[in-house]
């Protein structure tokens, strides 16, 4: 506690103060007692932080789904999990698809290239409308 008091003796800087107040005034935090639902679980930190989050999520790029399935089917779980990439939530259009059978988040707007890493795939009209 003494270390925290020393570090923040002059208070937060403007950016830190804004982030603190953003989180503190979020209804999920400020109205916690009324919003609590026993047995319900969700990643409320992401709701509070939104796009300001620096937390990354592990996703499987769309073009690696078949390889992932093959490796898991062969019992090569470590190799399958090495196909996952860490991305910021905002890099995935909308929310990534949770494949319950594979137990993995799939980012359909991302492709993986072994030379370049993950890349955003431009959506076509068919992707959006179909």
Q: How do residues 23-55 score in pLDDT, each as one tens digit? A: 777 777 777 777 777 776 666 666 666 655 567
Distance from C-alpha of 20 to C-alpha of 11, rounded to nearest angstrom: 11
Residues 111 and 64 both lie in one domain: yes
Residues 71 and 87 both lie in one domain: yes
Owning domain of residue 105: 56-130
Residues 86 and 114 both lie in one domain: yes
Residues 71 and 35 both lie in one domain: no
Overall pTM > 0.75: no
Question: Is the dihedral angle over the CA atoms 23, 4, 88, 99 positive or is it negative?
Answer: negative
13 pLDDT exceeds 80?
no
- How many domains does the structure of the chain reveal? 2
Among 51, 66, 84, identify where a domain stops.
Answer: 51
67 pLDDT exceeds 90?
yes
């Amino acid at each position: 506690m003494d270390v925290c008091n020393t570090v923040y003796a002059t208070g937060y800087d403007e950016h830190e103060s804004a982030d603190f107040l953003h989180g503190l005034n979020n209804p999920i935090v400020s109205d916690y007692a009324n919003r609590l639902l026993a047995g319900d679980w969700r990643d409320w930190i992401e709701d509070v932080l939104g796009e300001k989050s620096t937390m990354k999520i592990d996703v499987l790029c769309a073009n690696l789904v078949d390889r992932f399935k093959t490796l898991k089917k062969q019992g090569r779980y470590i190799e399958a999990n090495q196909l996952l990439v860490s991305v910021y939530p905002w890099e995935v259009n909308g929310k990534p698809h949770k494949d319950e059978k594979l137990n993995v988040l799939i980012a359909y707007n991302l492709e993986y290239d072994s030379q370049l890493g993950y890349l955003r795939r431009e959506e076509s009209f068919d992707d959006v409308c179909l």
